[in-house]
Amino acid sequence: MAEPPPPASSPWSSGRSPARSRPALRGGAAPAAGAPGGAGAARGAQPRGMEPADITLKLLLVGDSAVGKSSLLRRVTDGTFEPRLKPTVGIDFKVKKMVVQGRAVQLAIWDTAGQERFRALTPSYYRAAQGVVLVYDVTRKDTFTGLGGWLKELEMHTTNSNIVKMLVGNKIDKPDREVERKEGLQFARKHSLLFIETSAKTQDGVQFAFEELVIKILQTPALGDESTEKKGVQLMESSAQQNKGFCGASCALI
């Protein structure tokens, strides 16, 4: 079925991601924050049974290269996992529609490249984000020790002082853990972050992480208010009921 017609000025135009291998940004020609570079609008007949989204939220995924940001994005939006995913070039973007606490929410999730050579591209994307998912790999200590740098970068570039930050320790399915859960929890407490451990491979904690982030954003008045405009975006699915109530060993939200 065709994607719904987007509003002319909507940044969430197509719900489709630019090709993963295509640099979304080149030569400093960054699209405005909130506007996916080159994402064309897929126009078509409005499917039956859709409800308009109450809220649109912009979320960012940041963290070192290969920690699993794109895999988390794929898992939460498509329900898939690719064992040999290529590194993100520039910026990737996908839309996730969910119902959280009875409210139709549309998430525009931006996946930034972790590789150093793309770092200069990302600051403009931090603008107007309501939530950030800061990801490290529990099997690579260096990705954990580097978190301070990511927090500094967030402080420097985010325009929203109330932005909700979630720390995610990913790849808990792997046996060779280098970062204990309690270390992640301590770091999260120290920096007032939500915290959860996940596996994009097995999907443990993934849906729950995004739901909790959304709930926290909705509970933050300055963020909830500015994002509650109806933007005419249509919902085609409601997936928030999946994994409802998941809170296994990996879950520790503060």
Ligand X SMILES: Nc1nc2c(ncn2[C@@H]2O[C@H](COP(=O)(O)OP(=O)(O)OP(=O)(O)O)[C@@H](O)[C@H]2O)c(=O)[nH]1
Binding site for ligand X (CB under 6 A): 65-71, 82-85, 87-88, 113-115, 170-171, 173-174, 199-201
CB of 225 to ligand X, least distance (A): 32
CB of 110 to ligand X, least distance (A): 12
Nearer to ligand X, 62 or 223 (CB): 62
Please list, in sequence order, all residues whose beta carbon lies within 8 angstroms of the beta carbon of residue 126, skipping any fewer than 6 positions away.
Answer: 33, 60, 132, 153, 154, 157, 158, 159
CB of 61 to ligand X, least distance (A): 8
Nearer to ligand X, 51 or 78 (CB): 78
CA angle (66, 164, 13) in 5-degree steps: 75
Nearer to ligand X, 88 or 207 (CB): 88
Please list, in sequence order, all residues whose beta carbon lies within 8 angstroms of the beta carbon of residue 72, skipping any fewer than 6 positions away.
Answer: 61, 133, 135, 168, 170, 198, 200, 206, 209
Q: How far apart are the first and last CA of the chain?
A: 40
Nearer to ligand X, 41 or 251 (CB): 251
Nearer to ligand X, 89 or 223 (CB): 89
CB of 43 to ligand X, least distance (A): 30
The helix/strand/coil state of 122 is: coil
Helix (H) or strand (E) holding 106: strand 103-112
CB of 32 to ligand X, least distance (A): 23
